[in-house]
Homo-oligomer: A and B are copies of this chain.
Amino acid sequence: MPTHVVILGCGFGGLFAARALAGAPVRVTVVDRTNHHLFQPLLYQVATASLSAPAVAAPIRHILAGQGNATVIYGEAARIDTARRAVVLDGGDEIAYDRLIVATGAANNYFGNDAWAAHAPSLKTLEDAYEIRSRVLLAFEQAEREADAGGRAALLTFVVIGAGATGVELAGAFAEIARHTLHGEFRRIDPRNARVVLVEGGERVLPTYPPDLSERARRQLERLGVTVWLGRRVTGIDAEGVQMGSDRLAAKTVVWAAGIAASPLGAALGVPLDASGRVLVGEDLSLPGHPEVMVIGDLAALPWHSPPVPGTAPAAKQMGRLAALNILNDLIEGERKAFKYKDVGMLATIGHNSAVAVLGRLHLSGYPAWLLWLLAHIFFLIGFRNRIMVLIDWAWAYWTFQRNARIVLQSRRGI
């Protein structure tokens, strides 16, 4: 039997590892707990009603249909038995492997305050995106029905906690929804009076970006109407608002974009983890003492790599390709290669014609950065069809300021 490569998780890392093994004399089994590969960089647009789910997700089975050596299993790994070289799925089925690539990514991290999750959802999955979309749109609906001025103000206050790329993108989109999308549609409230507050514990937005771009991003956010609060640590979140030390902000809609933790499968490997629960891997991305197991993407910690590898899609793709390459090197008894991140820059969008970008030494902001962001995201979207549909959706949204996907599924949520 040819070497059996099992890949857990079909995000960017897992998918690019699987694809890099196309045509190779190996059997590939991809296991994922959803039926789709998710284009995570555009997930915030599902949450903010610009795109529908099928625009940013594609069935894994369809993506890999033409790859004859690949089998797709819809399931979740419950346990990994590295001694017996087997993955135990939920339900008890076992899959034996010769090589294992663990690419189950990251989950959200409330830093020990898991009770906050109920009041401040975060954005990782399509379900999360629908939950946030629903909360934001229904807050305006409830405000239209609310007789009490204080209650209305809390309903029209939207707080985003954490000013990384996701937080900045969400806050910018919320402000555009209030200012443009909903304009003229309400009779009792004016959506333009809604307040969008972006709360960040550090001293600048987009902390992984160069300081000049952080400053330009902050100015672009404020121009859109976002209130940016820096250096404020959140100490409590409940159904009525957010506590920051002795300050209180009454808000019915809070979104958490402040931290991610590694997928719990890392801990199940029984190897050393870093503070965020990520698995410490060697230069060939393998587990110490287990060259047949590799960990890639957001689940992997590479403390030996300088500068640090960002937790982005390009980094996960590069790791996926290298893990596959090293497996092929094993087959020909070649030497494994060390992972070296190739910097492709960073991009974050803020709103209409408004973004920041780092490309090596080049720092861009405003319209040129936005145009670059748009082209890059269209180019990297999985599937020709998704590209066309997203382009059309964006063109429509750009000219009309309307949002295609303002559909809330739940019939009612306890008003």
Residue in B closest to A29 when the chains form the complex, CB atoms: B187
CA A158 – CA B188 in complex, angstroms? 49
A274, CB-defined interface residue at 8 Å: no
A interface, how many residues as a size bin?
35 or more
Given A35-B406, A126-B409, A409-B53, residue A415 in contact with residue B90 (CB < 8 A): yes
B184 touches A406 (CB 8 A): no
**Digit string of A390-415 for contact with B (CB within 8 Å is 1, else 0)?**
00100010000010111111111001
In the complex, what's the smallest C-beta–C-beta distance from A220 to chain B, in angstroms?
27
Chain B residue contacts of A223, Cβ below 8 A: none
Known: A76-B412, A184-B65. A406 touches B145 (CB 8 A): no
Given A73-B144, A392-B392: A59 in contact with B126 (beta carbons within 8 A): no
Contacts of A141 in B (CB 8 A): 35, 74
Is the CB of A57 closer than 8 A to any CB of chain B?
A: yes
Q: Does chain B have a CB within 8 A of A272? A: no
Q: Is A276 in contact with chain B by the CB < 8 A criterion?
A: no
Assembly CA distance A34 to B184 (angstroms): 19
Residues in B whose Cβ lies below 8 Å from that of A65: 184-185
How far is it, in angstroms, between the C-alpha of A288 and the C-alpha of B412 when the chains are bound?
A: 32
| A363 in contact (CB, < 8 A) | no
How many copies of this chain does the complex contain?
2
Residues of B within 8 A of A404 (CB): 54, 385, 389
Interface centre among A33, A402, A411 (most CB of B within 10 A): A411
The verdict on A93 contacting chain B, using a C-beta distance below 8 Å, is yes
Return the contact of A145 from the options B74, B185, B409 (Cβ within 8 A): B74
A187–B29 Cα gap in the complex (Å)? 11
CA distance A108 to B91 in the complex (A): 34
Chain A, residues 11-52, CB within 8 Å of chain B (1/0): the string is 000000000000000000000011110000000000000001
Taken together as a complex, chains A and B put the C-alpha atoms of A389 and B75 apart, in Å, by 33
Residue pair A407, B35 in contact (C-beta under 8 Å): yes
Residues in B with CB closer than 8 Å to A388 are 392
A75 to B142, CA, bound (A): 9
* Contact for A415 among B75, B187, B402, B415, CB less than 8 A: B75
Q: Find chain B residues with CB under 8 A from A36 CB.
A: 406-408
A415-B54 in contact given A35-B138, A145-B73, A389-B392 (Cβ < 8 Å)? no
For residue A137, which residue of chain B has the nearest CB? Answer: B35
Contact status of A396 and B407, CB under 8 A, knowing A53-B52, A185-B65: no
Nearest chain B residue, comparing its CB with the CB of A35: B408
Render A125-155 as a binary contact track against B, CB cut-off 8 A, 1 for contact: 1110010000001100110110000000000
Subset of 26 A-B contacts with CB under 8 Å: A33-B411, A33-B412, A35-B137, A35-B141, A35-B406, A35-B408, A36-B408, A52-B53, A52-B54, A52-B55, A53-B407, A54-B407, A66-B184, A72-B144, A74-B141, A74-B142, A90-B415, A91-B415, A125-B411, A127-B409, A385-B396, A385-B402, A385-B404, A389-B392, A389-B404, A392-B392
Q: A62-B185, A65-B185, A127-B411 are in contact. List 18 more A-B contacts (CB 8 A).
A: A35-B137, A35-B141, A35-B406, A36-B407, A36-B408, A52-B53, A52-B54, A52-B55, A52-B405, A53-B409, A61-B185, A65-B184, A71-B188, A76-B411, A90-B412, A389-B389, A389-B392, A392-B392
